[in-house]
Amino acid sequence: MSTDRRPIAVLASSTFAFTICFAIWMMFAVLGIPIKSKLGLNETEFGLLVATPVLSGALVRVPLGIWTDRYGGRIVFFTLMLACALPIWLISYATQYWHFLVLGLFVGLAGGSFSVGTPYVARWFGKDRRGLAMGIFGAGNSGSALTKFAAPAIIAALGWQGLPKVYAVAMVVTALLFWFGTYSDPSHKSASGESFAAQMRVLKDPRVWRYCQYYSVVFGGYVALALWMTKYYVGEYGFGLKEAALMAACFSLPGGVLRALGGWISDKFGAYKVTWSVMWVCWVCFFILSYPQTTMSVATVKGPMDLHIGLGPVVFTLLLFVVGVAMAIGKASVFRFIADDYSDNIGAVSGVVGLAGGLGGFILPIMFGAIVDLTGIRSSSFMLLYGTVCVSLVWMHFSFKPQTTSPVAAPQPSAKPLLKAA
């Protein structure tokens, strides 16, 4: 009896394609720095520049998820990649701030590939392996680290105008490789007969809103930090562009690659228990990272003694690495919730939740810049993230507490391991 190798081929090709799409989606994290210098942008304007592709990538996730349910992931993914190639190329010819913003909106469509690939990959695997498969696909988030490794070298060799041209060619080649390396299965178009309004009824389910909030932290926060950290290292510690990008990759790389580990852990221990643990790890790390560089003078019997309190680049990077690992696992665990609870409408629900995460990734960099312009404190970005994690922890506690205390409440399948432990 022959073994069906199509699921593995679909998973491998989709993960590679998503990695390239994510690298392109995040390219302003590096490209934005020479553009900021060229145009003389302030922190808020820089935040808007790097976040603009995230906005369109978020807004398009819902329709892309629905089209994937209706038409199939292969054709939607392929068409999306080809549609992004020209706007990416045209960035090389942009000269004014609004040029970059408009083109950035079109480039951001590449970020919507997540809502295509997630349901496309998930339907090729059974429930016992779905969390791991979705985690492996989600590891394409490591494209953010790929940009930090490749973009500075390309800019050094070809100038900043060369980076969009290289990425445009890469997108076309990736689209062709994806098309010839994947398959279609008509039976996966489970929602093809439902209207848009019918699929959007999921918004009445409070669980969807919970998952949106969780994902806005673990994915929105990841995207925001991936966009912001290169510039943070340049401003806070005085690194050059290449060195700053490599240091920032210590967060981006585990935050993407280890998503597969998060899928496996979620399969083994349950989505709720894993997500709860992730939020606590982020809460502790963000609290420490929030502390600004501080110099104080203490009166002693021998006279004033000056003290400096602050994180050096090594400790800062280690903490950021831990956050990256936690967010990678959390991104997978949130989508394990969705795979368990909405297997028949996963495209629409993943689109909605992905939209929430993308909007978080759009709003946060702008808020980072605005807060820095207002306060002058760079670590204020982590203060903001600390607050968002607090909201998640409180919401999770009060949402699931009735299920753990009521003897008649039926726990969700994905939360069962935690409920038994409690």
Least confident of 147-151, 362-366, 410-414: 410-414
Distances (CA, A) of 124 to 117, 186, 237: 11, 12, 46
Model confidence at 394, in pLDDT bands (50, 70, 90)? confident
d(CA 24, CA 22): 5
User: Could you tell me which of 329, 328, 342, 114 has the C-alpha nearest to residue 210?
Assistant: 342
Name which residue leads in pLDDT, 322 or 135: 322
- pLDDT value of position 401: 59
Pair 292, 310: CB distance under 8 Å: yes
Least confident of 232-236, 267-271, 297-301, 303-307: 267-271
Predicted confidence (pLDDT) per residue in 254-264, tens digit:
877 777 787 77
Distances (CA, A) of 304 to 42, 297, 301, 309: 38, 6, 8, 16
CATH top-level class for 6-190+198-421?
Answer: mainly alpha
Least confident of 143-157, 160-174, 263-277: 263-277
Predicted confidence (pLDDT) per residue in 1-46, tens digit:
347 788 899 999 999 999 999 999 889 989 998 999 889 988 889 9
In degrees and rounded to multiples of 5, residue 42 shows phi and psi of: -85, -175
Pair 361, 65: CB distance under 8 Å: no
- pLDDT value of position 405: 45
pLDDT mean over 240-245: 87
- pLDDT value of position 199: 59
d(CA 160, CA 151): 9
The pLDDT mean for the chain works out to 83
If you count DSSP H runs as helices and E runs as strands, how many of each does the chain have, helices first?
20, 2
d(CA 148, CA 374): 28
d(CA 136, CA 138): 5
User: Could you tell me which of 270, 224, 277, 259 has the C-alpha nearest to residue 396?
Assistant: 277
Query: How is residue 229 written in tokens?
Result: 């950290």
Distances (CA, A) of 411 to 201, 246, 285, 399, 402: 22, 44, 30, 12, 10
pLDDT reading at 88 higher than 90: yes
- pLDDT value of position 101: 93
Distances (CA, A) of 145 to 287, 325, 411: 25, 13, 38
Structural domain boundaries of the chain?
6-190+198-421
- pLDDT value of position 249: 86
Pair 82, 204: CB distance under 8 Å: no
Q: Which residue has the tokens 């597969």?
A: 260
Spatial CB neighbours of 351, under 8 Å, sequence gap ≥ 6: 61, 62, 63, 64, 65, 66, 115
Predicted confidence (pLDDT) per residue in 188-211, tens digit:
665 445 555 665 666 677 778 888
User: Could you tell me which of 157, 144, 184 has the C-alpha nearest to residue 27?
Assistant: 144
Q: Which residue has the tokens 């985690």?
A: 135
For the purposes of burial, counting CB atoms within 10 Å of the CB of 195, is it exposed (0-12), middle (13-18) or buried (19 or more)? exposed
